[in-house]
């Protein structure tokens, strides 16, 4: 189960667990993996921090800050070499990177503090802007544990204050009166940068953990979908050949306005084998549903293994009939030889059932060779099948054969190459169709040339039977069988381990930098406009965070304003106006945000950008305003000095204007919070921020002039006069030193841009990964959806759900007994005359295309809610359509329910049968044909189950099915024939019938049957045991729903050995 973020501190006993953050994952392995991921992400910030160290040293070269230039530049060289050494070690020694991150932080702060300790200026705040940036950078990006971050931040902040205290002690004999105020200002600004960096860390940590969870969730979904897709793929490819399944999945959802899609191809020189279990009907009523399905599953599983051995393609199972082909879809010259070997092995394999059931069951096998059309028909319950007159002849070869013998045609014999001894079988004397086709038949006597399987050797049948057979059905075992119905998945623990390994591969081992470089331009914009737009419009997890920079830096501004500039009404008015404007725009933004939440839609990114820019702009304006006032004061004082008027010198002088430049460094860090903003836009925004601080100096140059009475200028006596250098050099350095704070701001802008590129690369990599995971999940989901639609066209939905929705062992067979089920058979007896394999009909393909249209229209009826709840299609047997009602597993009946409630589905099945007639009539009208349906309906108990682990097939068995088949085959065209018991039930629903008479039904003797005539207008259940003849005589002509039609011939012989196997495509 997916672990969620904790809201409280984890209570752990081990020492390692104590370092897990309070918001960490509950799973230790997950937290460990996340730590490795975040370490890898944040370690990429170390080279950027070293780059900032280089910028600090370049700034130190331009602004040495002390008179002893040898010491200043030597320290710069040492610092640069140190940075270079750490960078080289970081690149070359990957294992040392965790330690080098700490060394980098320490080295950078040592350089910064050493340079600070030797600088002098107007205030004790030299390099404070750099300290603000490094403090923010450390907290926002460095790969430290949160407790270590708190410690390092406290150390750096306190150390900086101590260095300034040291400067004050060494520079002056006594501390300045406002030194403590300066230290408070230094502390509050660094503390503001600390809180700002900490907030950035918290937001980044939240986003990274959410991204980690989302990635894990996506990987889990992807893994689940892939596993389900594999299960579905196995099941699908077990029923349909791969080339058919791939084409179906590709064209799923496409609509052909003229004809429904047909997947059919013609193959020549194909051997067709039909095999029937003789005597199976007798044992089907002896065993329970579970045992019967177990017997068939075990037997047909052995047949499937034999089919693999002899290169056969199993077509389908028809009740207790198994038939397969050889030579299609892949042609092979030995197709007939392999088919005969298959038949002989099946005759031996049936001994298994004989011993298990202790009954005289046997196999009757018939083989014929010819051409076939292979494919699927209809829109539901797809089954790969073969169609042609040769298929019908193969069926007749089986029905005219003998139990325990393999019966072949002379066409098949011509392909056997004298590898078998045969004897005449005279099947043409027992089957009229064989006689009409002029086919002579033979029995296989013995094998003259043993089968050579090569490397495909499989254990003999006796070995496959596992030696001595168990005495009970519960001991049935098929240990080497691999089921397509049972997911071959790992246990839950292994699945979690697999997900963690996938996470490690996706997050830790993946080269995000290289992938991002391939997907983006030099400016870090995605090459695809759609991808860039998606990134810009991405959902912001913390839309209210844009107010953080002004709020967190406000205490420092207040502290500075208390002593750095003289109090004036103008400055107070400016502050008040800016605060009100900023507050108003943030309130408007907040209201819009809440309104968007209420409407359940994402806030427009432009709102956040506008508000963020306004916040920083107002903050910068509030920061520049004191500098303008100070500049005007300095200009007034300078003019006063020239006029020998010094009356306002001690009153209006700004003592520490440099603080506002360092606050500007904090504002530059806050500019990173404005998003979404591209690289060039942020460059312009940061450049404008720096230029805004230049404006006061341009308007009032006196702001940068050295003030001998206040400033400690290192290039003017008496400060740092220990060295004597060229005065021209000192003058140039003094000019630069005067504008050092402006130069510092521009260097900080460069540092912020480096930091921004790193942060944006992280964000874009995270977004790209999320899009990639969503894309993969959508592809896998689409594949699963397509496979699922195909699967539901192979198995009924409730059966597919049974196997796909849970973990089953392959021995966990699906079987179910139903006590009250309706069964319908509907055939087109005159399709035989319509079917032709002439060239004009494309060797029969166009005839099958028409049959596909009919069956597809029948299938579409089952999408009607009126029928979909109670009726499912079982299969099509060539031109015969088989459906059943009452197989809904959610259907719950109470013992007190009457006939009308219990058998409502049977009435629905009859309505469905009538609708089939209407649909066929509409097709006839459009195609100028005259097809009619011959239908039979029966009700009673049945056994349903899935047979075949490798090639699963859902079917129903029982006397109810057999009698329904006989009702159709012995009926007349245009009518629905039912038994007397079914007639009595349907009369409760207002249907009335015509008595036909006694009909011979194999296994049941003589049965009284009836033809459905119509339905009364009276409500259901109004009659109690009505007289059939009276109901017919009382009915008016307008009540009749069906035309009786002419009896074109009813198959009264009905000597069928199974319920459907003897009705191939062209059976009349």
pLDDT single digits (tens) 597-631? 777 777 777 777 888 888 888 888 888 888 888 88
- pLDDT tier at 560, thresholds 50, 70, 90: confident
Pure H helices in 504-568: 512-519, 529-536, 548-561
Residue-level pLDDT at 518: 66
CA separation for the pair 225, 780 (Å, rounded): 6
Residue-level pLDDT at 1009: 93
- pLDDT tier at 1042, thresholds 50, 70, 90: very low
Q: Is residue 630 part of a domain?
A: no
Q: Is residue 924 part of a domain?
A: yes
Q: What's the distance, Cα to Cα, between the start and end of the chain in Å?
A: 58
CA separation for the pair 535, 676 (Å, rounded): 9
Helix or strand (DSSP H, E) at 326: strand 321-326
pTM, rounded to two decimals: 0.61
Burial of 450 (0-12, 13-18, 19+ CB in 10 A): exposed
Which CATH number goes with the domain that contains 1006? 3.30.70.1230
> What's CA 305's distance to the chain center, in Å?
35
Residue-level pLDDT at 715: 63
Q: Domain boundary residue among 448, 473, 502?
A: 448
Q: Which of 884, 869, 745, 746 is nearest to 825 (CA)?
A: 884
pLDDT tens-digit readout, 999-1037: 888 767 889 999 999 888 765 544 444 444 444 334 333
Q: Is residue 172 part of a domain?
A: no
Cα Rg of the chain (Å, integer): 45
Q: Is residue 403 part of a domain?
A: yes
CA separation for the pair 603, 610 (Å, rounded): 12
CA separation for the pair 925, 1037 (Å, rounded): 24
Which residue has better confidence, 567 or 336?
336
Supply 480's token pair. 């080497």
pLDDT tens-digit readout, 430-466: 999 999 999 999 999 999 998 876 443 333 333 333 3
Pure H helices in 63-178: 69-92, 97-117, 128-141, 146-171
Burial of 276 (0-12, 13-18, 19+ CB in 10 A): buried
Identify the domain containing residue 861 by its residue range: 814-1039
Residue-level pLDDT at 464: 36
- Tell me if 428 sits within 8 A of 449, measured CB to CB: no
pLDDT tens-digit readout, 189-241: 999 999 999 988 888 888 888 877 877 777 777 777 777 677 767 767 777 77
Residue-level pLDDT at 84: 93
Which residue has better confidence, 724 or 304?
304
Which residue has better confidence, 564 or 648?
564
Would the CA dihedral through 72, 78, 80, 83 be positive or negative?
Answer: negative
Q: Domain boundary residue among 415, 448, 481?
A: 448
Helix or strand (DSSP H, E) at 315: strand 313-318
Number of domains the chain contains: 2
β-partners of residue 818 are 942
- Tell me if 662 sits within 8 A of 623, measured CB to CB: no
Supply 804's token pair. 């796909």
Supply 398's token pair. 């089986």
CA separation for the pair 996, 1051 (Å, rounded): 14
Q: Is residue 766 part of a domain?
A: no
pLDDT tens-digit readout, 89-109: 988 888 888 899 999 999 999
Q: Is residue 955 part of a domain?
A: yes
Q: Domain boundary residue among 414, 448, 482?
A: 448
CA separation for the pair 888, 902 (Å, rounded): 13
Pick from 40-54, 300-314, 721-735, 981-995 the range whose average pLDDT is largest: 981-995
Residue count (the chain):
1068
CA separation for the pair 338, 730 (Å, rounded): 104
Mean pLDDT, residues 827-831: 88
- pLDDT tier at 813, thresholds 50, 70, 90: low
Residue-level pLDDT at 1036: 37
653: left (phi over 0), alpha (psi -120 to 50) or beta: beta
- pLDDT tier at 523, thresholds 50, 70, 90: confident
Q: Is residue 329 part of a domain?
A: yes
Q: 3-state DSSP call for residue 552?
A: helix
CA separation for the pair 888, 799 (Å, rounded): 10
Residue-level pLDDT at 529: 75
Q: Which of 716, 710, 722, 709 is nearest to 734 (CA)?
A: 716
Which residue has better confidence, 942 or 223?
942
- Tell me if 727 sits within 8 A of 67, measured CB to CB: no
Burial of 886 (0-12, 13-18, 19+ CB in 10 A): buried
Calculate the average pLDDT of the chain: 78
Q: Is residue 466 part of a domain?
A: no
> What's CA 381's distance to the chain center, in Å?
27
- The proportion of the chain whose per-residue pLDDT surpasses 70, expressed as a percent, equals 78
């Amino acid at each position: 189960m997916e672990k969620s973020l904790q809201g409280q501190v984890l209570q752990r006993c081990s020492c390692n667990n104590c370092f897990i953050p309070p918001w960490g994952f509950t799973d230790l392995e997950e937290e460990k993996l996340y730590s490795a991921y975040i370490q890898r992400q944040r370690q990429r910030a170390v080279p950027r921090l070293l780059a900032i160290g280089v910028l600090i040293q370049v700034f130190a070269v331009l602004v040495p800050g002390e008179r002893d230039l040898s010491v200043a530049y030597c320290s710069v060289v040492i610092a640069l070499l140190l940075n270079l050494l750490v960078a080289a070690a970081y690149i070359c020694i990957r294992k040392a990177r965790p330690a080098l991150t700490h060394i980098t932080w320490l080295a950078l702060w040592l350089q910064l503090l050493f340079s600070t300790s030797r600088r002098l200026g107007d205030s004790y705040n030299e390099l404070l802007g750099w300290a603000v940036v490094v403090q923010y950078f450390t907290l926002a990006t460095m790969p430290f544990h949160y407790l270590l971050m708190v410690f390092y931040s406290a150390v750096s902040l306190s150390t900086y204050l101590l260095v300034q205290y040291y400067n004050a002690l060494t520079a002056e004999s006594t501390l300045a009166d406002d030194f403590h105020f300066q230290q408070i200002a230094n502390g509050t600004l660094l503390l503001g940068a600390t809180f700002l960096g900490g907030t950035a860390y918290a937001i980044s940590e939240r986003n990274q953990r959410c991204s980690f969870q989302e990635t894990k969730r996506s990987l889990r979904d992807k893994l689940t979908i892939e596993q389900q897709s594999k299960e579905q793929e196995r099941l699908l490819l077990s029923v349909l050949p791969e080339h058919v399944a791939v084409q179906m999945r590709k064209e799923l959802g496409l609509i052909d306005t003229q004809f429904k899609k047909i997947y059919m191809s013609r193959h020549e020189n194909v051997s067709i084998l039909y095999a029937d279990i003789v005597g199976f009907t007798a044992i089907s009523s002896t065993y329970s549903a579970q045992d019967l399905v177990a017997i068939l599953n075990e037997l047909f599983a052995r047949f499937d293994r034999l089919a693999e051995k002899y290169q056969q393609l199993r077509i389908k199972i028809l009740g207790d009939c198994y038939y397969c082909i050889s030579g299609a879809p892949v042609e092979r010259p030995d197709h007939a030889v392999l088919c005969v070997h298959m038949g002989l092995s099946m005759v031996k394999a049936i001994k298994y059932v004989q011993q298990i059931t202790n009954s005289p069951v046997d196999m009757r096998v018939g083989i014929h060779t010819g051409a076939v059309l292979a494919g699927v028909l209809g829109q539901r319950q797809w089954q790969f099948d073969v169609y042609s007159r040769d298929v019908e002849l193969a069926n007749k070869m089986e029905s005219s054969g003998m139990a325990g013998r393999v019966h072949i045609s002379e066409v098949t014999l011509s392909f056997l190459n004298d590898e078998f001894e045969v004897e005449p079988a005279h099947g043409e004397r027992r089957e009229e169709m064989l006689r009409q086709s002029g086919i002579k038949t033979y029995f296989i006597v013995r094998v003259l040339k043993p089968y050579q399987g090569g490397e495909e050797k499989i254990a003999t049948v006796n070995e496959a039977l596992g030696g001595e057979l168990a005495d009970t059905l519960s001991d049935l075992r098929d240990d080497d069988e691999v089921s397509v119905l049972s997911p071959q998945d790992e246990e839950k623990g292994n699945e979690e381990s697999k997900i963690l390994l996938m996470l490690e591969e996706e997050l830790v081992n993946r080269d995000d930098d290289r992938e991002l470089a391939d997907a983006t331009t030099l400016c870090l914009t995605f090459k695809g406009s759609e991808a860039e737009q998606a990134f810009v419009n991405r959902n912001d997890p913390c839309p209210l965070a844009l107010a953080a920079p002004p709020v967190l830096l406000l205490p420092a501004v207040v502290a500075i304003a208390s002593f750095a500039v003289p109090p004036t009404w103008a400055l107070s008015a400016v502050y008040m106006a800016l605060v009100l404007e900023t507050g108003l725009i943030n309130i408007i933004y907040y209201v819009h945000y809440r309104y968007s939440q209420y409407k359940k839609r994402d806030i427009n990114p432009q709102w956040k950008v506008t508000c963020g820019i306004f916040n920083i702009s107002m903050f910068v304006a509030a920061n520049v305003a004191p500098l303008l006032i100070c500049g005007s004061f300095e200009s007034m004082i300078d003019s006063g000095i020239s006029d020998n008027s010094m009356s306002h010198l001690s009153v209006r002088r700004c003592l520490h204007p440099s603080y506002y430049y360092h606050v500007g460094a904090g504002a530059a860090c806050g500019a990173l919070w404005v998003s979404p903003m591209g690289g060039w836009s942020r460059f312009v925004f940061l450049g404008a921020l720096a230029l805004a601080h230049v404006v006061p100096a341009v308007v009032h140059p006196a702001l940068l002039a050295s003030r001998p009475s206040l400033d400690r200028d290192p290039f003017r006596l008496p400060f740092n006069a220990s060295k004597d250098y060229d005065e021209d050099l000192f003058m140039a350095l003094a000019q630069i030193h005067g504008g050092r704070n402006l130069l510092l701001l521009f260097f900080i802008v460069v540092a912020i841009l480096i930091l921004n590129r790193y942060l944006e690369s992280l964000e874009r990599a995270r977004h790209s990964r999320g899009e990639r995971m969503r894309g993969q999940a959508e592809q896998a989901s689409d594949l699963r959806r397509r496979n699922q639609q195909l699967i539901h066209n192979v198995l009924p939905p409730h059966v597919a759900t049974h196997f796909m929705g849970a973990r089953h062992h392959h021995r966990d067979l699906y079987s179910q007994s139903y006590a009250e089920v309706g069964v319908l058979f509907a055939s087109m007896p005159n399709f035989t005359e319509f079917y032709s394999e002439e060239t004009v009909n494309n060797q029969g393909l166009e005839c099958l295309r028409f049959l596909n249209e009919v069956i597809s229209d029948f299938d579409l009826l089952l999408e009607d809610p009126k029928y979909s709840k109670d009726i499912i299609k079982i299969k099509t047997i060539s031109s015969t359509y088989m459906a059943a009602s009452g197989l809904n597993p959610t259907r719950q009946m109470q013992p007190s329910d009457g006939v009308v409630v219990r058998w409502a589905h049977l009435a629905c099945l009859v309505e469905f049968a009538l609708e089939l007639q209407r649909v066929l009539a509409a097709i006839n009208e459009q195609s100028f044909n005259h097809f009619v349906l011959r239908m039979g309906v029966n009700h009673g108990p049945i056994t349903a189950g899935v047979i075949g682990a490798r090639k699963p097939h859902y079917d129903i068995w029982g006397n109810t099915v057999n009698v329904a088949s006989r009702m159709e085959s012995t009926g007349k065209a245009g009518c629905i024939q039912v038994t007397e018991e079914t007639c009595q039930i349907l009369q409760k629903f207002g249907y009335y019938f015509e008595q036909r008479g006694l009909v011979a039904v194999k296994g049941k003797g003589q049965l009284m049957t009836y033809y459905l005539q119509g339905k009364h207008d009276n409500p259901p259940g109004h009659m109690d045991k009505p007289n059939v003849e009276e109901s017919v005589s009382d009915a008016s002509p307008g009540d009749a729903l069906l035309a009786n039609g002419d009896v074109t011939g009813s198959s009264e012989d009905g000597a069928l050995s199974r319920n459907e196997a003897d009705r191939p495509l062209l059976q009349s």
